[in-house]
Structure 1
């Protein structure tokens, strides 16, 4: 890059219970469950965005990058007066060098362009460059950038490489971008589409006054499979929109750790580790976490064509509940959505789904129950998705279905 061009770019960087369609919520007593902090004196770090990460899948995730800038766009929930990035080399096979990093609010026209007035350089221990050891997660220094609630944040990373296989999130349902060399400070017109996976980035925290954060833990339904790319129609995004419409003192971060293909019982490679194997990273490791919603198990059922024992699924739910409550978190069970007509549906699998949903609804072990089954089912044939909410595969909700799911989440009481 010519020196004059580099100088001009540097000058622009500033340092510095049951809840269903009826709307009724029944809560059981929650011994030890945390409540929102009273008398908050000032801002604290709160998770604003996250994703569940996995080993690399075939293609770019396996081959990695050499002397390349990747520009990734994430949709924040709560904003704040400062930010910090969370990067991951958890599944990397070699130390990961970061040559430079920047953040900026995405340009109003979208795409790879940024609002240049918001461009900030990211530092790690005061340095522009850093190396993340194999298996490690890395947190940046605080970034002096005020961002609004619900902002689209652009994160640019220069990777000198060769990186080798990357820690990734395979199905982001967001377009990301790439260009050769170190172009982290570029306005963005020279980038080309990279695809719809996130690499290395697994969290953004905001410094703000809030009631904490809530984690939505699940599989491809939580991940937003089959929703419109770049529209942020994953159901946790729609929950966040409801939360952010509340008075500021009632806001909290909404964090999505759904992974397409994930299961309760078994590791699935690029479709994620089993539920308890990733609990510490995807739940307890999140900044300001106060509640978690568990929607998981349909892939265990469908993937085995109903051969899995419902008791085994319930045992993982009980472990999840116990772990969450031991940390003072509120934990909500979400019923599995209807799936008759899906490619891996069987009558035996339906029996497992009904058994697990009965446990979630009636055991009293959760702090509350969110009944997505009833909210999304076809009134004329409850074992199928409502046709108005079906993305076409009889398993995943479409954009309207995601809205229907979000509408039955008890946003006023979730973290309290």
Structure 2
């Protein structure tokens, strides 16, 4: 297929339009046994940072867990506030998770990955008034609030001590941030005790809420493109990071709920539960959430090489829209980005992608559209990413492409 063949473009567009028009407008089928979720009413608390958690990998620290060890992790906040609380997750653990002590401290380091903090600013957290907490299998806990002023667009360092063997740890595999570990109880250590953990995963910490003047939060829900694949480590240049900076103009936080390899319709191990299965946990139950941007479906299309149809992808999107609306959230649909010449590319998959995008743009079922395809495609060869935005695998944008994605979001959607 020649990228410049306009007749091919016209054919694909025509087929996409026919397929989109043929979709039956029927209500989504609810997941059996799953109670309706509602947005957590949280007063003036708002999510400032979050990550979507998965089960442990087969190897590495998430698989083995730790014992008598402190993990130190750096999270990049969106909105600021005058009080902080954090969420710890044992959603995918295999045994009750004992947390001996947890501390937080703002970071003034502006470049590079380091565990170094100012000791005198470290603050301990409590859970129902106690420094230690045991998290049941499948559960989360939220810390008590601590009075701490944190600036917008700043870093917070979280240190968590695990006194006994944890077993496999709930994680986020692709955090694009360096984590650190130290032997023993080092939650108040200055940093010299810590060593880098290989890889780029995050462990147990899943959300940071702040109390302040922010209006609410926007969840960016998706796969590796939302997660930040090909993003430089420790630079906070993923599209949700860059959009977070723009959302500050509207007083809205940004929460990244992307998972590399995630699919709409299939569970994928450490690539996360299917999007239709994790939506309530990763979107609806986030603190102060007002709206969600959905960028999901390209993995269902390309990894199955056509076995998943546009009809099935659209039906899944309809489920997400209905569940967002039932919880009082706005839902914005993001068009699937070009993937020509990438691994698993097929003409059938391209037609399905075009059909899904046609439906997102024209059906009116989403409350708004974020046209990432238009922002990233090469005007001369519209089936592929603009070379300046291509990370090299013809699927994932680079940091400049993530900038284009952030700028494609209409800030008027959040007021």
Q: Where on the TM-score scale, by shorter chain, does this alignment land: which range?
A: 0.7 to 0.9
Structure 2: gaps spanning 5 or more residues: 1-41
Structure 2: distance between partners of 1:386 and 1:178: 40
Give the aligned partner of residue 401 of structure 1.
Answer: 401
Corresponding residue to 1:210 among 194, 214, 221: 214
Any residues of structure 2 matched to 1:252-331 within 5 Å, and which? Answer: 252-331=252-331
Question: Is the CA contact 1:307–1:349 (under 8 Å) kept in the aligned structure 2?
Answer: no
- The alignment's TM-score, normalised by the length of structure 2, stands at 0.88
Give the aligned partner of residue 176 of structure 2.
Answer: 173
Question: Once the two structures are superposed, what CA deviation does each residue of 1:3-43 show, in whole Å capped at 9, x if it has no partner?
Answer: xxxxxxxxxxxxxxxxxxxxxxxxxxxxxxxxxxxxxxx97
Give the aligned partner of residue 230 of structure 2.
Answer: 226
Structure 2: distance between partners of 1:333 and 1:415: 14
Give the aligned partner of residue 200 of structure 1.
Answer: 204
- Residues matched between the structures, number: 370
Structure 1: distance between partners of 2:107 and 2:82: 17
Report whether the alignment pairs 1:118 with 2:117. Answer: no
Structure 2: distance between partners of 1:188 and 1:344: 44
Question: Is the CA contact 1:307–1:348 (under 8 Å) kept in the aligned structure 2?
Answer: no
Structure 1: gaps spanning 5 or more residues: 1-41
Deviation at 1:306, TM superposition (A): 1.9
SS of the equivalent of 2:146 reads coil
Give the aligned partner of residue 8 of structure 1.
Answer: none
Report whether the alignment pairs 1:68 with 2:69. Answer: yes
Question: Once the two structures are superposed, what CA deviation does each residue of 1:166-209 show, in whole Å capped at 9, x if it has no partner?
Answer: 11000000011011000000011221101310000100000011
Structure 1: distance between partners of 2:149 and 2:121: 9
Question: CA RMSD of the aligned region, Å?
Answer: 1.2
Report whether the alignment pairs 1:361 with 2:361. Answer: yes
Give the aligned partner of residue 189 of structure 1.
Answer: 192
- The runs of 4+ residues in structure 1 deviating greater than 3 Å are none
Give the aligned partner of residue 96 of structure 2.
Answer: 95
Question: Is the CA contact 1:81–1:208 (under 8 Å) kept in the aligned structure 2?
Answer: yes
Structure 2: distance between partners of 1:80 and 1:166: 30
Question: Is the CA contact 2:186–2:193 (under 8 Å) kept in the aligned structure 1?
Answer: no
Question: Is the CA contact 2:342–2:393 (under 8 Å) kept in the aligned structure 1?
Answer: yes
Q: Out of 124-133 and 109-118, give the one that drifted further.
A: 109-118
Structure 1: distance between partners of 2:77 and 2:385: 29
Give the aligned partner of residue 81 of structure 1.
Answer: 82
SS of the equivalent of 1:307 reads coil
Report whether the alignment pairs 1:392 with 2:392. Answer: yes
- The alignment's TM-score, normalised by the length of structure 1, stands at 0.87
Question: Once the two structures are superposed, what CA deviation does each residue of 1:289-313 show, in whole Å capped at 9, x if it has no partner?
Answer: 1000000001101110122111000
Deviation at 1:104, TM superposition (A): 0.7
Structure 2: distance between partners of 1:100 and 1:274: 33
Deviation at 1:106, TM superposition (A): 2.0
Give the aligned partner of residue 247 of structure 2.
Answer: 243
Corresponding residue to 1:153 among 156, 162, 170: 156
Structure 2: distance between partners of 1:242 and 1:400: 15
SS of the equivalent of 1:146 reads strand
Q: Out of 303-312 and 164-173, give the one that drifted further.
A: 303-312
Question: Once the two structures are superposed, what CA deviation does each residue of 1:200-247 show, in whole Å capped at 9, x if it has no partner?
Answer: 010000001121111000000000010110000110110111122x2x
Question: Is the CA contact 2:51–2:255 (under 8 Å) kept in the aligned structure 1?
Answer: yes
SS of the equivalent of 2:197 reads strand
Give the aligned partner of residue 164 of structure 1.
Answer: 167
Question: Once the two structures are superposed, what CA deviation does each residue of 1:50-99 show, in whole Å capped at 9, x if it has no partner?
Answer: 00100001221110001000001111000100000001001100000001
